[in-house]
Amino acid sequence: MYPDDALADVVLFDVPREADLLCKRLREQRLVWMHVREGMQFVAASLRSEPGDLAALLRSVEAWVAEQGLPRMQFELDGRSYTLRAQPAFLH
């Protein structure tokens, strides 16, 4: 068993700034907490069993990324790293 097996249904977002604002936004819809691993802090968001929940979560975070003026954010799902890019239409 790997240390992060307990995070199988969780998305970890590597938030460069204002992590508390992302937590506050996501808490309205799901279980969210700050997760520390190897000295790095992540916003952890649980996935619900509903169809399309991952897509809904990523759309919400994508909009937040754009609102914050960030071009992209790294996230982890099932032990793999991905990049979420803000859509040009969302950028100010």
pTM: 0.83
In this predicted structure, the answer to whether residue 2 has a pLDDT above a threshold of 50 is no
5-84 CATH, one of 2.40.50, 3.30.70, 3.30.980, 3.30.1330: 3.30.70
Q: Give me the residue label for tokens 């793999």.
A: 80
Write down the domain spans for the chain: 5-84
pLDDT digits (tens, 9 = 90+) for 31-86: 999 998 888 899 999 999 999 999 999 999 999 999 999 999 999 999 999 999 87
Angstrom distances, CA of residue 14 to CA of 29, 72, 77: 19, 10, 12
Q: What is the 3-state secondary structure (H, E, C) of 13-43?
A: EECCCCHHHHHHHHHCCCCEEEEEECCEEEE
**Can you tell me whether residue 11 is helix, strand or coil?**
strand
